Amino acid sequence: MTRRNWPVQDAKARFSELLEACVREGPQIVTRRGEETAVLVPIAEWRRLCDAARPSRCDAAEP
């Protein structure tokens, strides 16, 4: 699983590529001013994490 950092400007401009990288390579980190700000994860991994967490934390964010 390869994590890659994407500056927010690149993430906006190349969102389709970011999404494909997430599906192929796993979680992708988005940075703002050099700080890790967000992460895009494949849905299967999101669900696995939600199953491992307290159910109430992920219920509201379930896609």
Q: What is the pLDDT of residue 7?
A: 97
Q: Where are the alpha helices (DSSP H) in 3-42?
A: 8-13, 15-25
| CATH placement of domain 4-59 | 3.40.1620.10
Q: Where are the domains of the chain?
A: 4-59
Residue 6, Cβ neighbours under 10 Å: how many?
21
| Residue 21 tokens, joined | 């990288």
Global pTM exceeds 0.75:
yes
Residue 50, Cβ neighbours under 10 Å: how many?
15
Q: What is the pLDDT of residue 53?
A: 84
Task: Render pLDDT for 25-59 as a digit per residue (tens, 0 to 9).
Answer: 999 999 999 999 999 999 999 999 998 886 666 66
Residue 18, Cβ neighbours under 10 Å: how many?
18
Cβ–Cβ under 8 Å, residues 22 and 42: yes
